[in-house]
């Protein structure tokens, strides 16, 4: 008997700063993306891949990425409490 796990896709807004070099000069740029993912961690990973891809396409030498925030848009739009979204026992608080 196999167990099926249902992965629910959610929308996340991810914002961070990418630090890169171009023509021997250091730059930084705010980069935001709306990402569909099954978890907060997956959204972060996908965001990092997208930033690296953007740098490669623009021939930029990526130094690092600093995430500013990740927002679960589905939770924000539904008005769900953060406790419910993250499975925290509200009675314990």
pLDDT per residue rounded down to tens, the chain (93 residues): 555 556 789 999 999 999 999 988 999 999 999 999 999 999 999 999 999 999 999 999 999 999 999 998 888 887 766 666 556 555 555
The DSSP output letter for 23 is: T
Do residues 82 and 75 lie in contact, with contact meaning Cβ atoms separated by under 8 Å?
Answer: yes
**pTM of the full predicted structure?**
0.75
Burial annotation 68-88 (CB, 10 A radius, 16+ → b, else e): eebebeebeeeeeeeeeeeee
Q: CA–CA separation, 21 vs 2, rounded Å?
A: 50
Q: Hey, where are the domains in the chain?
A: 10-92
Partners of 72 in beta bridges: 12
């Amino acid at each position: 008997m196999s167990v099926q796990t249902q992965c629910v896709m959610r929308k996340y807004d991810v914002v961070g700063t990418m630090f890169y070099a171009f023509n021997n000069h250091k730059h930084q740029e705010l980069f935001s993306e709306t990402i569909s993912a099954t978890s907060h961690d997956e959204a972060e990973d996908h965001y990092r891949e997208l930033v690296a891809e953007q740098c490669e396409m623009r021939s930029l030498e990526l130094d690092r990425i600093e995430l500013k925030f990740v927002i679960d848009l589905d939770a924000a739009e539904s008005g769900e409490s953060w406790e419910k979204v993250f499975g925290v026992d509200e009675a314990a608080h």
